[in-house]
Structure 1
Amino acid sequence: MTDDLREQVRAAARRARVAANELVLATRERKDAALHEMAAALRTRAAEVLEANAKDVEAGRAAGLNQGLLDRLALNEARVEGVAAGLETVAGLADPVGEVLRGSILPNGLELRQVRVPMGVVGMVYEARPNVTVDAAGLALKSGNAALLRGSSTAEHSNAALVAILRDALEAAGLPADAVQLLPCHDRASVTHLITARGLVDLVIPRGGAGLINAVVQQATVPTIETGVGNVHVFVDASADLDMAERIVLNSKIRRPSVCNSAESLLVHAAVADEFVPRITEALLARDVVVHGDERFALDGRVVAATDEDWGTEYLSLDIAARVVDSLDEAVEHIAEHGSGHTEAIVTSDFNAARRFTARVDAAAVMVNASTGFTDGGEFGMGAEIGISTQKLHARGPMGLAELTSSKWVVWGDGQVRPTS
């Protein structure tokens, strides 16, 4: 069975390579037409998607999935419309393929150009988020890549319905259906076969919990971009406008607590703690957020005493760890010890404090007086994202079209040869 599954995955990768070789020659006009066709098909066949998704949600509830995962899994008409609109936004973006990154003419007359090119075959390994299926397919197509999608069994019916619709739309637009393929999801060995298909797969991107990401990064022989978990902090500085701080903390935490840009920790400067801690505690509790506070954070029976484990936890739920710090430096040190390199925010009216915070905090995105919820490819104008990279090589932060490309040097001459030594 394992050998059969390995060959199934590798056969899909070979088909993807054929499709990628065709996509590399596709004009922007053809790719954009396909994206619009995909968006229209999703709208027309939304009922199929929602029916399939209802099966997954029902099975997820029966299996005891927590509310955060169920929220990530669930689709409704608005969310289907959102991913369809995302495809249209991607169609409206500039095509990264062929962009000249730099160039020059050497003294010997050689003309150098470094240009963007597709990665080729991109594998995605992700958990219960069917919207990723559409986002990944759309971004891969526009950047000239073929996508091998390995979603979780939790979203089996949703992903199957979505991929069937996308493949039909690709064919209708005259592009290869194998530019988007869904891999088997019931055997974890399919992940292993994907991430070790070196030579057939050019890049793997894991997107999900820490366990999934670590397993892929540690076991892959295919080049991998690490998308990290989001242990995200909001620091309320001594000079913060407290009305603004309350809005930002609440939006960062409760807008959608199951996503990776949701705030998981709150740090409050001691200079404003007497006023702000009771205020924000009441506001959070009123919205059913469980506050895990240190000994200085209003431990009055309604706030749970924080443990060392809380500071490093990505809750993905209506929970937040909260601590009072004596300085900006202490806040930065806390983030350095417990943060995951995803998103960090400061609320401050002090320009120098903001500058020090943004310079010293090591994260893919640093917000000044803005919600952490803005760390998102769509919000950054990318149309959608294929993940948020927390590593420092090639891509960091929300990954859109440019991050799904590599580059090549194209050198034009008219007969130049190097002198023999």
Structure 2
Amino acid sequence: MTHGVTTPGGFAQLARTRGVPAAFILVLLAFGGFSLLLPVVPLAVLRGGGSDLVAGATTGVFMTVTVLVQLLTPRITAAIGYRWVLASGSALLGLPSGLLALFDAPVAVLAVSGVRGAGFGMMTVAGSALVAELAPPGMLGRATSLIGLAVGISEAIFLPVGLWLLEVFGLATVAWSATAFGVLGLLAAARLPDVHPAPARPSDPSALGRRAMIVLLAGPFLVMVAVSLPYGAAASFLSPALDSIVSGSGAVVAGVGLGLLGVGVIVGRTFAGLVSDRRGPGALVWPGLAFSALGMAGIAGLLTLSANPWWFIAPTVVFGLGFGAVQNEALVGSFERMPRSRLGTASASWNISFDAGTGLGSVVMGAVAGFGYVVLFMVAAGIVLVVGGPAAVGARRTRPARDLTVLHRDDKVGS
């Protein structure tokens, strides 16, 4: 297989590509509003006298609606185009947030969470697919890593900022700030070009039926689940695991560690995007899986030694590097398997694998935690290899024989 020639000054060219800066800002705002409220809403519910069940249900309802809407978004996009889907998603995700400052009844909070989840589902699928549509020839890998950069920046900044605003100014400030993000997102959406998914052609994989689509996307999907599930475990259980070593300091160290994990994801995704455009997608899947497994095993090993909590930052960052690399490879791998008419389907598959894997990591690994945190993180490392290894082999076998970066623009993504 031949690979496309790398475009000089790639990221600078992306910044000059019509619609890409607006899409970058839109994703930045969407994940900013999401990150502001993600840890704040459950905490505010508990502080307001709500139960643990309702607090957990706010995130559960949000993510459940997100995944359901992600399944529908490709069809919605085909009907009304990317600009209107992203504008609608920004409105649904951001504008209702201010209601959280006005209504604190459980039904109201859950209803707002559900509406916001619908907007988030539209944003995640359509945002990734649009950037793939707009990517100049030979730059799909860097274009997808640009989305990862927007997500990483938002999470690294606004997850802690949301909690800080809650402590200093109260829930109303956080809620109305998220609403403001939605308004700004509408302005950014107005700057997007009017792009619709390309119509399907008889030669497209979309004409082969649902079974063929599942076969083509199963490899990247399962590779992504293999690393997103341990990520969910780390996000949920790193803090209590460290508390078991030094009571009271776990949250502080875990907060720093998860923040640096996010930095590792940014570095991993960006590097994977550069390598993908130079050598073709898939080159960093195995190194990414190895880093991810090593990070989880490193956490388990340090727990066995009851090491100083600050030592845990190193394996957490290692996991982040691998997690970021696999994220980008799985997304590019999903896009390369689909024609332009099915970019939304590829994006939905990847986003669902990310969100579902993260959710399962919290639930499934919560059951494993009963056997101890060392066992939990060793099982997480094993999942990376046992699920990710065969999935990577399967993904390579089902990878199309043609290369995205050398064909005609109307034929494939990234060309």
TM exceeding 0.5: no
Structure having greater relative contact order (Cα 8 Å, sep ≥ 6):
2
The TM-score with structure 2 as length reference comes to 0.26
TM-score normalised by the chain length of structure 1: 0.26
Higher share in strand = 1
